Amino acid sequence: MDKHGSRSDRYTYIPTGDILSGLRKEGFSPFMVCQTRVLDDAKREHAKHMVRLRHASQIEAPEANEIVLLNSHDGTSSYQMIAGVFRFVCSNGMVCEDMQSDIRVRHSGSIVDNVIERAFRVLEGFELVDSQRDGMKALTLNAGEQGAFARAALALRYDTELAPAPITEAQLLYPRRQADNKGDLWTTFNRVQENMMRGGINGRTVTNKRMTTRAVVGIDSGVKLNRGLWVLAEEMRKLKA
């Protein structure tokens, strides 16, 4: 594997495998890998990809902090490392919005040796993520506040200024398991996030035709939506606190 032929000599190839080897030595292992679908076969092995890694100490925890790696070898993106949280009960990963833990490295210059070192800045951000998550768990939302959260989440996913969302706040808040039938902010956030990411919710189009929401499978769209939801939950936590 090498950089795509369209890249110039100034483009530095950052092999994802080298980064994974370095993080394995620190106890992190990859648990999920996906890649952007491309139409050009020549770019298939160079397309943008995402790897989520967890530390061995958190394998049996109800939520695991993760390092989320984003990379490509065709010039479509920089090398990016983000803090994430994985909730085992619903198998949905969340991407946390913490700019201190959002490390971007351009594919230029002598940088390969520094990438792993920068990855540990993401690890340092987990303390803040844990604090935010604990704060969300400690706050109870009434029915109106839960509805407001779901309504704001729908505006992230759909352009509700132009047309109503195809599903309702109540559908977005519906628990997929009994354990999620709670009113704290963390559980509310999780219900909304899971229902949005997995899709499969029956709704109506603007012309009142039946439709079913689609799962969010794209790397960029998934990261954008997850980060938006995290910001929404964190801002509500601050307001309630």
Dihedral-angle region of residue 138 (phi above 0 means left; psi in -120 to 50 means alpha; beta otherwise) = alpha
> What pLDDT was estimated at residue 124?
76
Which residue did the predictor score with more confidence, 142 or 14? 142
Q: By three-state DSSP, how is residue 27 classified?
A: coil
The amino acid at 236: M
Where in the chain are the domains? 16-125, 139-240
Which residue did the predictor score with more confidence, 216 or 72? 216
Mean pLDDT, the chain, rounded, equals: 80
Kindly report, residue by residue over 148-172, the tens digit of the pLDDT. Answer: 999 999 999 998 888 899 999 999 9
Distances (CA, A) of 206 to 152, 164, 170, 191, 203: 19, 7, 18, 25, 10
172 contacts 150 by C-beta, under 8 angstroms? yes
Q: What b/e sequence results for 177-199 when a residue is b if at least 16 CB atoms lie within 10 Å of its CB, and e otherwise?
A: eeebeeeebbbbbbbbbbbbbbe
| DSSP symbol at 36 | -
CA distance 34 to 218: 9
> What pLDDT was estimated at residue 108?
54
> What pLDDT was estimated at residue 83?
82
First-to-final CA distance of the chain: 50
> What pLDDT was estimated at residue 1?
45
- Average pLDDT of 181-199? 94
Which residue did the predictor score with more confidence, 206 or 100? 206
- Average pLDDT of 75-93? 72
Which residue did the predictor score with more confidence, 146 or 163? 146
Kindly report, residue by residue over 30-80, the tens digit of the pLDDT. Answer: 887 777 665 555 555 556 778 888 887 777 777 888 888 887 755 556 678
